[in-house]
Every structure is written in structure tokens, then in C-alpha cells.
Amino acid sequence: MLNYEISGRGKNHLVLLHGFMENLTIWGDMETHFSDDFTLIKIDLPGHGLSKNYGEIHSMELMASEVKKVTDSLNLKQFHLLGHSMGGYTTLAFAEKFPEVLKSITLFFSSYLPDDTEKKEQRQKSLRIIKEAFSNYVNAGVPNLFNPNEKDFLEGKIELAKKIALSTNNDGVLAAVKGMIERTDKSKVLENFEGKILVISGKHDSAVKTDLILNGLPDQTNIKSYLLDCGHNGHWEKPSICAEIINTELLHHLPKKFVL
């Protein structure tokens, strides 16, 4: 089973899924800002952190099924599911397969759209670089995921992101890339999901096409979106604001004043 950690004792369970080349430790900055009404279940996705590899390709559906084994083992009947980037892709696959157990889904700097042709080609090319020069791949790519206007301020977080990425199992990274290439359009999942849908995006996100994502959202009363002044990593760039939005939208807490 996947590696996981639990923190908090709140009556509302929030399952957190990290992104590509991350692990469950990424939530540390946000954790202190989450409401005490949450119990957090932080999971290492297949081939990441302390979780094993499951094969040459980790599809989002495979990842979702492995997450379900964790939630079943904890006897979670109704819970909130939040995923960052690749974790968001897994969240959508989970919502498609197991909607009955979900109170809400949160796409956290993620997308319901499949890779376009250009993105698929980029991922295909990255497979060779990951095999032959992984450290170069990490050191060149990770800084681009942060707000370019705040690189100096975020230097420590960028180095942390690199360290976590470099610690990721190489086969796990390759399997995840292959799985992301295979992703399908999940627009219908949003249209059919009956619970709360929260979308948190960044103005300077170079990893997903924020404008397309926000403009293409179905016009439904159960969907709420936020656009923040950050890059792809809101958990490190705007942790208190992100946690406040989640507390407000999922628990209906009255928000403190904050600047988006």
C-alpha cells in the first residue's frame, strides 16, 4: 500500500495528493494554516516519496486506485480530496471512478484538460533526459515552476523543491511521465460531479494553461475558482492564502482578509 501520514484530529478528512517529483512533505508550510476541523491524510503517490513503483507506466487511474486502497484501509466514507498538479490529475481519475465517497475535489494548480500535442512531445523528449541527466532535468526545470518575479524571495523554496525532486525514484519519475502523456479529457468529470469543486490557479503558472482552464470551466453553482499571484507551487509560494481559501470553501469558515 502507498505510504501515508495523518495529522490533526478534525471531523473533516482532507486527503492531499502531491504533484510530479514531489512527496507528502510538500504540505508542511500550509499545514499550520489549515483549520483544526481537518484531519489531513498526506499520501506519497506511486514511485514517489516512500511509495513503491507499480510498473513501467503509472496511469492516473492506477494512482487513483492505489489512493482508494489507503482511504478504504482508514475506513473513510466521505472525504475531501485535493491534488497538486499530477495529484490533481489523479484526483479527477478518482472522482471519475469513486465519486460516491467524495465531498469535494480541489484542483490545486492543476488541469482537467489533456496534454496537447506540443506538451506530449515535450514529455516524450524528457524521458531520455530523465534517464541520462536527471539532475540537469531537475535543476533546469524546477525553478521555472515558481513566480519569475519572486525568484530571489523564493530561493529557499526552489532549493527545497529541487532536493525533493532529486530524491524521487528515477523509475517512478519515468512511469509518471508516461502516465501523464496518456491522460484523457476530464471535462465531463467536472460536469457530472455533484459535490463541491474548487479550482486554485496561478497567474504565473508555466506548467498548465491557466486561462484555458478557468475560461473552460462549466457554468455550475458547485464550482468556485481562484486566481492567485504566484506560479505553479501555491503550497510554497502562498501557503497561508491557499489554506485560508480551502478552509473557507470546504468548511464554510468566514475568511480573514487576504490579498489574492
Return the SS3 of 44: coil
Tens digits of residue pLDDT in 233-253: 999 999 999 999 999 999 986
Tens digits of residue pLDDT in 82-130: 999 999 999 999 999 999 999 999 999 999 999 999 999 999 999 999 9
Return the SS3 of 223: strand
d(C-alpha 182, C-alpha 57), whole Å: 9
Q: Are 232 and 137 in contact (CB under 8 A)?
A: no
Tens digits of residue pLDDT in 116-129: 999 999 999 999 99
CA 84, 90, 91, 95: dihedral to nearest 10 degrees?
A: 170
CA 188, 189, 193, 196: dihedral to nearest 10 degrees?
A: -110
Task: Show the domains of the chain with their CATH numbers.
Answer: 4-251 (3.40.50.1820)
Tens digits of residue pLDDT in 17-55: 999 999 999 999 999 999 999 999 999 999 999 999 999
d(C-alpha 80, C-alpha 197), whole Å: 10
Strands 38-43 and 12-17 come out as parallel
Tens digits of residue pLDDT in 196-221: 999 999 999 999 999 999 999 999 99
Model pTM score? 0.97
The pLDDT-based confidence of 258 (bands split at 50, 70, 90) is: very low
- Over 80: is that where the pLDDT of 257 sits? no
Look at residue 212 in the predicted model and tell me its pLDDT: 97
For 165-169, what is the mean pLDDT?
A: 98
Return the SS3 of 87: helix
Look at residue 259 in the predicted model and tell me its pLDDT: 44
